[in-house]
Structure 1
Amino acid sequence: MTVQTERPPSGPTEILKGAGSEPADPGRKPRRAGSLTPYLLLLPPVAAVLVFLGWPLVKNVLISFQNLNMRQLIQHLTEWNGTDNYGDVLSSEEFWNVTGRSIAFTAANVVLIMVIGTLVGLLLVRLGKRMRVVLMIGLVLAWAMPVVAATTVYQWLFAQRFGVVNWVLDALGFHSMADYNWTGSQLSTFFVIMVLIVWQSIPFVALNLYAASTTIPKELYEAAALDGAGAWKSFTQVTLPFLKPFLFATTFLEIIWVFKAFVQVYAINAGGPDRLTEILPVYAYIEGMGNQHFGMGSAISVLTILILLLLTAYYLRIVLKQEEDER
């Protein structure tokens, strides 16, 4: 007589249950179903970056080691010349003049942008709701205007014969400015470009700092007021410490944005007069596309990227050192 101690599974459901109830191998880690999901979601943007940014960058580096002009392009020739392009660029006095001009141009713009943008951001905190909304709408509209459209507007504003700026100055009594050519000298051309870039950049800084200011607890200001702190002391002891991380991050982004401001400089006067307002991106374009020295232009653009990386690395080093000193 046979005694059955366990009833065999009678259907597929019970078979699956029985299979799932088997003890797992202690040496085998369980695999999570969603462990690959983050990587799959990151795959499309990473692929897009590699295709649209990575490959052009690699191609640009390869061209910088070639002697490439219209003859090579028409005949489909590849003439490698090693580091001759880099040697010619680095030994050129014009390149170093443009580099120094680009650094000074970037520094002046970033200082103005951060100072005025911070003041506007603090003003947003103090304004009433209606005025704050009006000012924020104006900032967003200025920020959202396309660069080429904004540059065209400024060309009209500072036009020599029919510009609004010259008309206003003449009406105010500065009659010598009635027919002033704003793009006729280096300083006046840079003035117009800087006004344009600062105007375009202030909204980003102001809105960022306003958003950061809303996270500061009001109790800290009340405690500072009880201690007898005035407006300036409250700013330096309460507001500024909270805004420092946002100021550092925003300054970092503005350095990158201003340093590569090609459209504004080229559209205003194409680096003129006499190529005295060229910065590195414009210099690379004119040497590469304008003079058809494509290898030389690629070498200048690669050096521009390296200089920008060195500037940002130096800035980040200063920021990290300040944070360590505060700790």
Structure 2
Amino acid sequence: MAVATTRKDPGRPAAAGVPGRAAPPTRTGRGAAPGRGRLTGAAPYLLLLPALAFTAVLLGWPLVKDGMLSFQNLNMRQLIQHLTEWNGVENYREVLTSEDFWRVTVRSVVFTAVNVALIMVLGTLIGLLLARLGKKMRLLLSTGLVLAWAMPVIAVTTVFQWLFASRFGVVNWVLDKLGWHSMADYNWTGGQFSTFFVITVLIVWQSIPFVAINLYAATTTIPAELYEAAALDGAGGWRRFTSVTLPFLKPFLLATVFLEVIWVFRAFPQVFVINEGGPDRLTETLPVYAFVEGVGNQHYGMGAAISLLTIVILLALTSYYLRIVLKHEEDE
């Protein structure tokens, strides 16, 4: 009696119940069907449409209205009588030929550069300190940074007004107790540089937490093996920082500088609340200058023109910075 034998292909698994035949492919899990669930065609754009529409309503439409207003002669008389008087580019011509505008522009650029430099240096040092502290001290310092960052701008500015008040101010009291008796009744907002000093301390104090906390988070992504290898090679603390830490933090630092330039350049409440751009309008930056000319002097078309020129200047500064960054990355 002959015994039937089956020939099995060693490279193909046998199907259940059928010797020698490969089992049909089965689909298990979400990743088994490539292409399914992927958005194609117009679907991604439809999902982005609500966010784009929301942005256009909140930002685009006010910008369009501001642009239309910049080509009008709108003072209190036109506003009360509901008159629309178009004057073409007269507002821009008057602004661009004004020495005050260019003086304020240079002042705003220098003010932004000084503040951003201080914010980045101090924020980086505190972020590196967070990475070296123990768990309890790191939690304590991080809590203080978050609380400082979360305080409303007007509330913080009011506190700084009280700290630097000429009478009953904490700063003057401390300086007097330390031996500087001439500072007992010093008026911090009486001069240009002293007023800018107070504003700079305020803005730097508000901005450091963002830089420090995010930089500390960036340091946690650096592999510890790199530091161990650098230590085995005999690298000191400064060498480890420049060879290991800094290259990893460089993308974060470049992006943070970009954000801080925008934030400091458009800072309005800190400058205005401290001394309303005084004394003698010597501490006005472009946002304050636009407000004073537009609302304070009731030249609303002029204020709109200054606002749009402020946006153009900010775009020019940021685009120049981005070009430097991209060129530097290409060279590397």
Q: TM-score, normalised by structure 1?
A: 0.89
Aligned-residue CA RMSD in angstroms? Answer: 1.4
- Which residue identity does 1:131 align to in structure 2? M
1:151-186 deviations in Å (ceiling 9; x for gaps): 000000001101000000000000000000000000
Instruction: Please tell me the residue identity of whatever aligns with 2:174.
Output: V
Out of 289, 295, 314, the residue aligned to residue 308 of structure 1 is: 314
Aligned length: 297
What does 1:108-187 align with in structure 2 at a 5 Å threshold?
A: 108-187=114-193
Of 58, 65, 76, which residue of structure 1 is paired with 2:64?
A: 58
SS at match of 2:288: helix
CA distance, structure 1, for counterparts of residue 216 and residue 36 of structure 2: 45
Matched, 1:91 2:97: yes
Within 5 Å, which residues of 2 pair with 1:180-199?
Answer: 180-199=186-205
Of residues 36, 43, 52, the one that matches 1:46 is 52
1:237 aligns with 2:243: yes
Give unpaired runs (5+ residues) of structure 2: 1-34
- The two structures have a TM-score, normalised by structure 2, of 0.87
**What pairs with 1:211-290 in structure 2 (closer than 5 Å)?**
211-290=217-296
Q: Which amino acid aligns with 1:306?
A: V
Q: Quick one: distance in 2 between partners of 1:31 and 1:203?
A: 44
AA aligned opposite 1:137: T
> 1: distance between equivalents of 2:91 and 2:38?
53
Query: SS of the counterpart of 1:104?
Result: helix
Please give the alpha-carbon distance, in whole angstroms, between the structure 1 residues aligned to 2:38 and 2:143: 46
Name 2:24's counterpart in structure 1.
none
Runs of 4+ in structure 1 over 3 Å off: 30-41
Shift of 1:37: 5.0
Distance 2:307 2:76 in 1: 19
In structure 2, relative to structure 1, the CA distance for the partners of 1:219 and 1:58 (3 Å cut) is: same
Task: State the 1:33 CA deviation.
Answer: 9.2
Matches of 2:329 and 2:53, distance apart in 1: 35
In structure 2, the residue matched to 1:75 is 81
**Which stretch of structure 1 is more off in the superposition, 36-45 or 227-236?**
36-45
Take 1:172 and 1:112, find their aligned partners in 2: how far apart are those partners? Answer: 26
> Structure 1, unaligned stretches of length 5 or more?
1-29
The percentage of aligned residue pairs carrying the same residue is: 76
Superposed CA deviations along residues 31-61 of structure 1, whole A, max 9, x for unmatched, are: 9895455434322221211111110000000
The yes-or-no answer on 1:206 pairing with 2:228 is no
**Alpha-carbon shift at residue 325 of structure 1 (Å):** 1.1
Letter in 2 for 1:164: V
Looking at structure 2, the residues matched to 86 and 311 of structure 1 have their Cα atoms a distance apart, in angstroms, of 20
How far apart, CA to CA, are the structure 2 residues paired with 1:223 and 1:317? 35
